[in-house]
Amino acid sequence: MTPQEGIRELTEPRSVGDPVKAAIHRASRLCGLSYWRCFHIFYGKAHRVEPHEITAIADALERKRELEAKNELSELRRRLARLEARLLSTDEEFYRPQIDFLGRSACRSS
């Protein structure tokens, strides 16, 4: 992955109407580089990207991806719990195999 692609990934996700300037500022905070340095890398205007900048971008991407993975796992656990509660509220005995499967699935993802 190039530094430009890394900075672009750090700007995501962008909501509708989110200016590029705000996204670049967000990426600069995440990787610890100045706004203008991120601006130049984002637009491919940087003539050279230093090794410490590449490392900072890679570290920020790793942290961002780990946080996204944790958030996704938490969301999946919440969805499984809601589904289990819905199944229990309708007919517990009829849905017992599905409820047990959901419980085992949640335990494996821990």
Ordered DSSP codes for 13-77? S--TT--HHHHHHHHHHHHT--HHHHHHHHTT--S---HHHHHHHHHHHHHHHHHHHHHHHHHHH
Domain span holding position 29: 3-108
- What's the pLDDT tens digit per position in 58-67? 999 999 999 9
In the chain, how many domains are there?
1
Residue 47: the pLDDT is 93
- What's the pLDDT tens digit per position in 40-87? 999 999 999 999 999 999 999 999 999 999 999 999 989 988 888 887
